[in-house]
């Protein structure tokens, strides 16, 4: 299949939180027919009222699932895996499934292993978000400057990979790329999970409610993501434990290097690290 908004490609979103809602908003604006299954009726009501979806259900609605050509799962990892286990008999043959899960190695293989032969799961990770939750905060502008990573395995067909890449572009992501589940998890441990560990740690160092009067933008920047959904992130950390531990250790080793330079008045090496970081960070300027 290919995405075709003129032919009314029917997209079902399962889990209408911030990300699911933002997917719905972007796809609906592009002209797709978007339906949603989610837990609470107030979420459905909000999404209908704000024209994020064409139809919604709080039940695992067999007819709705049968109508879908593409299903996007925007659920917590373990909820996603259970959902597939319990409901995969309802998929129409040839349905393509994708997701937004933040870890891949411990999810993708297990799902592809248990999945019916006549449907295909192609994993993806939209690197976009906000520090707020819920469908009410849906905002398709979060995709504009962001990266979208398609995470195929040997089991995936070129067609499904192309479809998933096309979905990333239709959503409005700035960059769409491909990584293996292993490489993805290493990158995410470094770029996302480690940074969340650092932000949380920073906020836990001092109990001083006056800090806000003394802080500059640097501390603000480094702790923006310290407002964190503890249920979701602890689950993501545990599912990527080995990779995250490796990245934490690498970080601590380099941090210790810098500390030693300071202890030993080793200005040359300290400044060399600063120049390296400056050089590398320039590549990130949007």
Between residue 153 and residue 182, which ones bind a copy of itself under the rule CB under 8 A?
175, 177, 179
157 versus 175: smaller Cβ distance to a copy of itself: 175
Among 58, 161, 162, 270, binds a copy of itself (CB under 8 A): 270
Contact 104, 149 (CB under 8 A): no
58 versus 179: smaller Cβ distance to a copy of itself: 179
Q: Tokens 């970081």 — which residue?
A: 277
Span interacting with a copy of itself, options 59-67, 75-83, 91-99, 232-240, rule CB under 8 A: 232-240
Span interacting with a copy of itself, options 17-25, 55-63, 93-101, 197-205, rule CB under 8 A: 197-205
> For residue 42, what is the enclosing H or E element?
helix 41-49
Question: CA quadruple 87, 91, 93, 99: dihedral positive or negative?
Answer: negative
Q: What is the size of the binding site for a copy of itself (CB under 8 A)?
A: 85
Between residue 92 and residue 151, which ones bind a copy of itself under the rule CB under 8 A?
127-129, 146-147, 149
Question: CA geometry: angle at 93 spanning 87 and 96, to 5°?
Answer: 80
Q: Judged by CB under 8 A, does residue 274 bind a copy of itself?
A: yes
Give the separation between CA 135 and CA 19, rounded to whole angstroms. 8
Question: CA quadruple 139, 144, 150, 151: dihedral positive or negative?
Answer: negative
58 versus 203: smaller Cβ distance to a copy of itself: 203
The contact pattern for a copy of itself, residues 1-40, with x = CB under 8 A and - = no contact, is: ----------------------------------------
Structure tokens of 145?
Answer: 């400057």
Q: Judged by CB under 8 A, does residue 238 bind a copy of itself?
A: yes
> For residue 160, what is the enclosing H or E element?
helix 158-171
Between residue 207 and residue 226, which ones bind a copy of itself under the rule CB under 8 A?
207, 209, 211-226
- According to DSSP, the residues that pair with 126 across neighbouring strands are 148
């Amino acid at each position: 299949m290919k995405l075709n908004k003129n032919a009314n490609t029917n997209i079902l979103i399962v889990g209408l939180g911030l990300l699911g809602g933002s997917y719905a908003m972007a796809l609906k604006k592009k002209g797709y027919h978007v339906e949603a299954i989610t837990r609470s009726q107030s979420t459905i009501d909000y999404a209908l009222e704000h024209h994020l979806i064409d139809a919604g259900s709080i039940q695992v609605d067999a007819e709705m699932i049968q109508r879908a050509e593409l299903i996007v799962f925007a659920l917590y990892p373990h909820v996603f895996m259970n959902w597939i286990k319990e409901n995969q008999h309802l998929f129409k043959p040839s349905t393509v499934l994708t997701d937004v899960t933040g870890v891949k190695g411990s999810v993708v293989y297990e799902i592809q292993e248990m999945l019916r032969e006549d449907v295909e799961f192609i994993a993806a990770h939209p690197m976009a978000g906000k520090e707020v939750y819920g469908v009410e905060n849906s905002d398709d502008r979060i995709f504009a400057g962001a990266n979208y990573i398609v995470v195929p395995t040997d089991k995936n067909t070129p067609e499904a990979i192309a479809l998933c890449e096309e979905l990333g572009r239709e959503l409005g992501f700035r960059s769409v790329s491909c990584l293996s589940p292993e490489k993805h998890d290493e990158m995410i441990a470094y770029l996302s999970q480690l940074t969340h560990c650092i932000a949380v740690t920073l906020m836990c160092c001092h109990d001083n409610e006056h800090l806000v009067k003394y802080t500059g933008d640097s501390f603000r920047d480094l702790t923006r993501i310290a407002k964190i959904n503890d249920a979701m992130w602890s689950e993501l950390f545990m599912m990527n434990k080995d990779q995250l531990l490796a990245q934490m250790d690498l970080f601590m080793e380099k941090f210790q290097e810098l500390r030693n330079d300071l202890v030993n008045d080793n200005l040359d090496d300290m400044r060399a690290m600063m120049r390296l970081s400056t050089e590398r960070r320039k590549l990130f300027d949007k």
